């Protein structure tokens, strides 16, 4: 149970010193015995958080349209890799494959891989998708050498980040240590890195894991061809801010209160991810989720659903607002595309 993880983290800190925020996130999310994703991920309305594929089928269907259209622009390679990283309960891939069947040959050419480390989530994915897919613990484990279309919805926010705080005497790193009573507590230690200059009190987050993924995607897409669609909440310009949060039963809770029982996230640093991919020779573009879905025709899709089910018009309207509303997912969430040079994937023209 999480009490065990909290006690083990406290013992580790007492013995070896404070943990960086990145180390703490990794333990809380992926500890084999008590980590959130390793033991008790809870998605959906009855869980801890809800993602766009669970808000409405429209989201996954439009991602499927994007993938099929991208495959066609790539010259319809057969076979090609259709990869999802962080596939949740499998709903998004199920919707993608269903929508993709509208383009002849797409499903038959797709070799589907799910990159998932969580045992409980793999079980849910297998129940939904059957055995016609393959699983990998990391993208490195997905065989290379073929063009790839990769989808990752709310993956970057789960990758750990370090936090640096500007003080009157310079930059310090925020860490998780112990208070005088032996409880977990935030603290500051001298910084080993030198973030950009900023005002006192500013927080600067650095995610080596997010940057590493951007570099890996860039290198692989330049070599083999294809595109990666990354959708998440986060910034599209460099900036400052403390974005660490813990979600439990759809409510924000103290990140130190119940390690392993809550989902810990930080905002996606899209500028850093895109820069890392571009250093490998890839190209990239970014829109808000609202603009991206609008370019894919979510307005027309909404109208078609309402015509088919006028009794569900109010529900469909609420789902649309959740996905594209400025006070919902529409502006905070971004859709970023990293792709091999020489072509522009669907919906990202003139970004």
DSSP of 248-304, one letter per residue? ETTEEE-TTTSTTTSEEE--EEHHHHHHHHHHTT-EEEEEEHHHHHHHTTHHHHHHH
pLDDT at 1: 39
Q: Which residues contact 209 (CB under 8 A, 6 or more apart)?
A: 22, 159, 160, 161
Residue 96: C-alpha distances to residues 144, 279, 298 (Å): 22, 30, 15
pLDDT at 196: 82
Quote the Cα angle for 102-108-110, to 5°. 95
Q: Is the dihedral of CA 285, 234, 184, 86 positive or negative?
A: negative
Q: Is 190 helix (H, G, I), strand (E, B) or coil?
A: strand
Dihedral-angle region of residue 158 (phi above 0 means left; psi in -120 to 50 means alpha; beta otherwise): alpha
Instruction: Name the token pair of 73.
Output: 């622009």
pLDDT at 59: 95
Residues 46-84 as b/e (b if ≥16 CB within 10 A, e otherwise) read ebbbebbbbbbbbbbbbbbbbbbbbbeebeebeebbbbb
Cα 46 from Cα 28, distance rounded (Å): 21
pLDDT at 2: 46
Q: Which residues contact 241 (CB under 8 A, 6 or more apart)?
A: 203, 205, 267
Chain centroid offset of residue 202 CA: 25
What is the CATH number assigned to the segment(s) 34-159+208-249+263-339? 3.40.50.12710
Quote the Cα angle for 126-250-51, to 5°. 45
Chain centroid offset of residue 191 CA: 27
- Written as tens digits, the pLDDT of the chain (351 aa) is 346 899 999 999 999 999 999 999 999 999 999 999 888 766 655 655 678 888 999 999 999 999 999 999 999 999 999 999 999 999 999 999 999 999 999 999 999 999 999 898 999 999 999 988 999 999 999 999 999 999 999 999 999 999 999 999 999 999 999 999 999 999 999 998 778 888 999 999 999 999 999 999 999 999 999 999 999 999 999 999 999 999 887 789 999 999 999 999 999 999 999 999 999 999 999 999 999 999 999 999 999 999 999 999 999 999 999 999 999 999 999 999 999 999 999 999 985
Which DSSP category does 246 fall into? E
Cα 103 from Cα 92, distance rounded (Å): 18
Instruction: Name the token pair of 253.
Output: 């809770």
């Amino acid at each position: 149970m999480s009490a065990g993880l909290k006690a083990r983290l406290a013992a580790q800190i007492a013995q070896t010193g404070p943990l960086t925020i990145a180390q703490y996130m990794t333990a809380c999310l992926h500890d084999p015995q008590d980590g959130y994703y390793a033991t008790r991920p809870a998605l959906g309305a009855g869980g801890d958080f809800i993602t766009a594929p669970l808000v409405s089928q429209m989201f996954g269907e439009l991602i499927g349209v994007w993938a099929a259209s991208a495959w066609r622009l790539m010259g319809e390679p057969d076979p090609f890799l259709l990869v999802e990283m962080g596939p949740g309960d499998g709903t998004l891939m199920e919707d993608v494959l269903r929508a993709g069947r509208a383009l002849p040959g797409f499903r038959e050419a797709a070799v589907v891989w799910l990159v998932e480390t969580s045992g409980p989530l793999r079980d849910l994915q297998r129940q939904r998708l059957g055995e016609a897919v393959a699983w990998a613990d990391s993208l490195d484990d997905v065989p290379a050498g073929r063009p790839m279309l990769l989808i990752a919805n709310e993956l970057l926010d789960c990758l750990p980040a370090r936090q640096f705080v500007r003080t009157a005497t310079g930059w310090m790193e925020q860490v998780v240590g112990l208070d005088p009573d032996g409880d977990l507590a935030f603290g500051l230690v001298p910084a080993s890195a030198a973030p950009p200059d900023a005002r006192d009190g500013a927080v600067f987050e650095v995610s080596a894991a997010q940057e590493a993924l951007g570099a890996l995607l860039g290198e692989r897409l330049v070599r083999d061809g294809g595109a990666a669609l990354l959708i998440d909440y986060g910034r599209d310009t460099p900036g400052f801010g403390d974005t660490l949060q813990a979600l439990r039963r759809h409510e924000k809770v103290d990140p130190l209160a119940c390690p392993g029982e809550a989902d810990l996230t930080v905002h996606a640093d899209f500028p850093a991810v895109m820069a890392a991919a571009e250093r490998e020779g890839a190209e990239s573009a970014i829109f808000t989720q609202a603009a991206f879905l609008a370019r894919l025709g979510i307005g027309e899709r909404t109208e078609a659903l309402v015509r088919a089910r006028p009794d569900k018009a109010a529900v469909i309207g609420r789902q649309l607002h959740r996905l594209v509303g400025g006070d919902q997912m529409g502006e905070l969430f971004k859709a970023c595309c990293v792709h091999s040079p020489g072509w522009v994937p669907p919906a990202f023209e003139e970004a």
